[in-house]
């Protein structure tokens, strides 16, 4: 496994939940963290948690459903004047459970695709070319093990699109030192997972860190499972 001490990680949706856990896990390994939330105020809790580690911590903010705000978010990162070595595309939305599976609204479909797929693509496009040039990069796209749930079809379909997006990008990274993989965090007690989920959000560690720690010639375009990860870090 690689050493991420003094590397810089951008984690979308790290103001809470899985993203916050990933931020804490990487911080323990000495990785600097760029925290992202919808608003600057939303980042405060994670910033406070990370203040206990001897690392550099930054905050960026913006709605991933809005193209202009995505570009602004990217510009916020560039103004930090730090290179992004690790990108966790963690942020996602799940539209409401709809018993009438033939009545998912256009708005629900578009919101799911904008946040869960389009924003992810834009962030990959913004930071992967520089990773290739720098000779190092790790990109982790979060997916879902959801199945047999047509009541949540926009969410499920968007997460399958993330698998295809990752596969396609991985082909272009084959001969570089940049690795892109997907991560299934498992069914966790988060705002998306709900209170009846099988595992606490803390159970996402250490497995959620594994795809960020692969070697330069390691896994690429593969799917990691946080809950089933068998090793300690």
Active site residues: 155
Q: How far apart are CA 227 and CA 184, in angstroms?
A: 8
CA distance 201 to 186: 9
Instruction: Determine which helix (DSSP H) or strand (DSSP E) holds 184, and give its type and residue range.
Output: strand 178-184
Q: How many CA atoms lie within 13 A of 194 on its CB side?
A: 5
* CA distances to 25, 59, 113, 162, 224 from 204, in Å: 10, 23, 24, 19, 12
């Amino acid at each position: 496994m690689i050493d991420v001490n003094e590397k810089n990680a951008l984690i979308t949706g790290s103001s809470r939940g899985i993203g916050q856990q990933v931020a804490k896990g990487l911080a323990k390994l000495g990785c600097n963290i760029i925290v992202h939330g919808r608003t600057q105020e939303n980042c405060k809790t994670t910033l406070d948690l990370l203040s206990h580690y001897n690392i550099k911590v930054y905050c960026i903010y913006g709605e991933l459903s809005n193209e202009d705000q995505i570009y602004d978010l990217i510009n916020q990162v560039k103004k930090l004047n730090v290179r992004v070595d690790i990108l966790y595309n963690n942020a996602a939305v799940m539209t409401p459970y709809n018993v009438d599976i033939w009545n998912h609204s256009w708005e629900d479909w578009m919101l799911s695709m904008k946040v869960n797929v389009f924003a992810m693509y834009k962030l990959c496009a913004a930071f992967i070319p520089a990773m290739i040039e720098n000779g190092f990069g790790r990109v982790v796209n979060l997916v879902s093990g959801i199945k047999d749930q047509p009541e949540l079809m926009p969410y499920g379909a968007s997460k399958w699109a993330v698998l295809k997006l990752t596969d396609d990008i991985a082909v272009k990274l084959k001969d570089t030192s940049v690795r892109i993989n997907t991560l299934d965090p498992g069914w966790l007690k988060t705002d998306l997972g709900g209170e009846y989920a099988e595992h606490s959000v803390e159970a996402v560690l250490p497995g959620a860190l594994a795809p960020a720690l692969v070697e330069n010639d390691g896994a690429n375009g593969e799917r990691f499972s946080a809950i089933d990860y068998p090793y300690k870090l």
